[in-house]
Structure 1
């Protein structure tokens, strides 16, 4: 997990079942994320934290604010996101990227051509930076092509952290010491900051995979990493997300999902591709 500040103690706020249902319905409508009864404590705590920070006198007043203030809707959305990530997570997919996906992609490109890779959700940037690191270290042709890496997340606070490029030891624990020395600068305690050249090689932006309009300006990508997001969706929102992923891929582009996710059960718009290092999907 990346360096995440422990939330403050939630105030003692009464939230009725109806109010709770209204908030979760809004979250679903805005993000596609579903939260069942088993997440009740998690949901109540985050709503109570936001109520305390806004100074609203009760849940009813907060709901009125939430219905009229887009900024507060974003802050509540940030509170509901789960930023579980670290460098070189599921690195077998990075191996597949360098060993088989990119070699297949460049058969239709010339040296110097643009190759676009999208990490969504990017959380605090660990995955997007991992892609850049892996290619620098493991793809001999990285300098022969114009590789653009974009990281996007619905959580604007996470995007700010990604832009800053500062990480705690836990986020970096899978990286070899030689990479830590080459690409990170020591800071106070066990924290490290990614070097400017690498930080500036990745572009970060806020985006909502559940909202096609928020994705339009991103253009299309040759490869998309969308790992461990669809597990928070129901069947209907998974299909919407799948369609949006399809639209953001170039024809023949590749999609990498999390190890517990399968596009085969969601959409028939992708072909399953078995590679030596990973199972991925390709826009049909």
Structure 2
């Protein structure tokens, strides 16, 4: 179903529809949008209504509820994909300087090390991990490193696999890094080299839906940054349990700079590594 010029224009959602949409999004994703986000919700509903050609807001929500494809499109419209390369670089420094050396102390060369970037948005974080380790960890070639990027936004994942990035995304990368790991600029974008595109696996996942991650296995390090701030308390606790279950014993979890497990879960052990506070599964 798609919008056509001869179809009626979408009707602006009323308060009841806005509230219902917020409840559905929270139920599907864990993300909470309060009254101060009314315009944010309304704009995204109207955009999807125009795309589907459904003019009545309540009818559109019924359609999105019972049609998985449109539900995913609506979820994609609500996600916040604010990201860039080498964001919160202190975690990358702690990864190569402390976390991985601690992990491989009990491994032998050739062993598998698994790192999960969730949410990965359009891929900058997952690719940043790969680049950082190639540049900063001397043992990068001694171990079999698997990097998995996941997100609830399937459109963002498609962009991540494609690997084209704007100058804004690349702004914090040293020139030498841009020249070594990205193709020549075309149309104000640069594509990450094929070897790196093939080195990171991208897959959909939902932190409040355990069934969505059952096939991913467990990880030595998880970066889950700047997501829990969008969740309510119940969703944060559910996400924390899922993250704990996905970590190997002794594995590390990195949260965003404004996030903490302090009032969410007591299952993790907080550890300070230089400028980074990380959480470990005991």
Secondary structure at 1:180 match in 2: helix
Q: Quote the residue 1:107 is aligned against.
A: 105
In structure 2, the residue matched to 1:25 is: 23
1:208-243: per-residue Cα shift (whole Å, max 9, x none)? 111011011000000000000000001110000000
Match of 1:65 among 55, 63, 67: 63
Distance of 1:262 and 1:222 partners within structure 2:
19
CA distance in 2, matches of 1:37, 1:252: 41
Aligned to 1:142: 140
* Residue number among 178, 181, 190 corresponding to 1:180 in the alignment: 178
SS in 2 for 1:264: coil
Q: Counterpart in 2 of 1:210?
A: 208
For residues 10-60 of structure 1, what are the alpha-carbon distances to aligned partners after superposition, in whole Å with 9 as ceiling and x for unaligned? Answer: x65321111111111111111111000111100000001000000012112
Partners of 2:123 and 2:138 in 1: CA distance? 24
Aligned to 1:243: 241
Alignment RMSD (CA, Å):
0.9
3-state SS in 1 of match to 2:105: helix
Q: 2:162 — aligned with what? A: 164
2: CA distance, partners of 1:27 / 1:42: 13
Contact 2:10 2:55 in 1 (8 A): no
Look up the SS of the partner of 2:141 in the other structure: helix
Say whether the 8 Å CA contact 1:95–1:277 is kept in structure 2.
Answer: no
- Which whole-Å CA distance do the structure 1 matches of 2:19 and 2:170 have between them? 38
Query: Could you say which residue in structure 2 is the equivalent of 1:219?
Result: 217
* TM-score scaled by length of structure 1: 0.95
Structure 1 counterpart SS, 2:104: helix
Aligned to 1:87: 85
Q: Aligned partners of 1:58 and 1:12: how far apart in 2?
A: 6
Residue 155 and residue 263 in structure 1: after superposition, are their counterparts in 2 closer, same or farther (change >3 A)? same
Q: Quick one: distance in 2 between partners of 1:57 and 1:198?
A: 44
Alpha carbons 2:12, 2:42 under 8 Å: kept: no
Q: Partners of 2:45 and 2:128 in 1: how far apart? A: 33
TM-fit CA distance, 1:76:
0.2
Q: In structure 1, what is the Cα distance between the partners aligned to 2:17 and 2:28?
A: 17
CA distance in 2, matches of 1:212, 1:195: 33
- Cα pair 2:10 2:56 within 8 Å, conserved: no
Give a deviation string over 1:108-136, Cα, whole Å, max 9, x none: 11100000000000000000000000000
Cα offset for 1:61?
Answer: 1.9
Instruction: Tell me, in whole angstroms, the C-alpha distance in 2 between the residues paired with 1:178 and 1:170.
Output: 16
> How many Å apart are 1:179 and its aligned residue?
0.7
Q: Structure 2 length normalisation: TM-score?
A: 0.96
Segments of 5+ residues of structure 1 without an aligned counterpart are 1-10
- In structure 2, runs of 5+ residues without a counterpart are 1-8
Q: How many residues are aligned here?
A: 274
**Structure-1 residue corresponding to 2:253:** 255
Report what 1:13 is aligned to: 11
Who is 2:189 aligned against?
191
Question: 1:30-69 maps to which residues of 2 (within 5 A)?
Answer: 30-69=28-67
Give the C-alpha shift of residue 81 in structure 1. 0.1
